[in-house]
Structure 1
Amino acid sequence: MYELVVERHFSAAHFLPNYPGPCSRLHGHNFIVRVYVRGAQLDAMGMLVDFGVLKKALLALLEELDHYNLNDLPAFAADNPTTENVARWIADELGKQALGGATVHKVEVWETPGQAAAYYPLPPAA
């Protein structure tokens, strides 16, 4: 089994309605996103997936979040834009894309240097 990881950043604001604390007010983060993909087979070039393909796919998603208020985005219309839900959204959206022989294993979203959420998507149904 092979595993690749790419890391990218984005900045966004959000607030958590009905949260009993300061996060109920509008605030922002400089998020760090790490995406881990896994697979058992390498392609003819000896790659699981080209890093460029993976980075391009992630950057396209992060452009949908970067410098926005996450609460205003359709992706979070039904869910609070918590770090957990951001990680799930990224994993779900990346999972819809062709990534060679790789599948998304884990997405970490760091909202500060000391705290992060990770999401592990369920393996595809056989």
Structure 2
Amino acid sequence: MYRICKRIEVESGHMLSKHPGNCKFPHGHTRAVEMVFIADTLDASDMVMDFKVIKSMMGEFINQFDHSLCVNTDDPLYGIFKQTYGDRVIGFDSVDPTSEVMARTIFFHAKEALEHGKAGAYEWPVRQVVRLERVRVWETSSSWSEYEE
């Protein structure tokens, strides 16, 4: 099995309305998002796929989190933040935007983007045998959450 990993870093804020401590207040993290793709074989260029494909598939989606505040849509302040800061506030539908939830959200976007790549949506080819194995979201340099199917 061959594995490749693309890591993208963003400065990302969130607030966890269900948290009993200080995490219920807006705060930020230097997050790293790692996406791991696998294949049993290599392509004609001896790669699982080109790293440029991953950047094309995921760069804009992940960059939306950069200098944004992720908020549970059930939080009483969500509407005020959204009205004040617009698209820099990202709503998470009735869930706290924990690293676990963010990893799952990014995983499903990456999985869908990979299927678009297999259908020829990007400049570089993506073979049918390439699979998304997991997404890991680093919240700090010593703490991460991961999602895989």
TM-score class normalised by the smaller sequence: 0.7 to 0.9
- The structure with the largest alpha-carbon Rg is 2
Alignment map for 1:36-75 (pairs within 5 Å): 36-71=36-71, 72-74=89-91
CA distance in 2, matches of 1:58, 1:33: 10
Other-structure match for 2:141: 113
Q: Any conservation in 1 of the 2:33–2:137 contact (CA below 8 Å)? A: yes
Cα offsets for 1:57-107 (capped at 9, x unmatched): 221221221111111324x12321000011111111000022623211111
Report the TM-score when normalising by structure 1.
Answer: 0.87
Report the TM-score when normalising by structure 2.
Answer: 0.74
Alignment map for 1:1-126 (pairs within 5 Å): 1-71=1-71, 72-74=89-91, 76-97=92-113, 98=117, 100=126, 101-120=129-148, 122=149
Letter in 2 for 1:85: V
CA distance in 2, matches of 1:9, 1:89: 16
**3-state SS of paired residue (1:73):** strand
**3-state SS of paired residue (2:11):** strand
Cα RMSD of the aligned pairs, angstroms, is: 1.4
The answer for unaligned runs of 5 or more in structure 2 is 72-88, 119-125
The answer for unaligned runs of 5 or more in structure 1 is none
Letter in 2 for 1:93: H
Identity rate, percent = 28
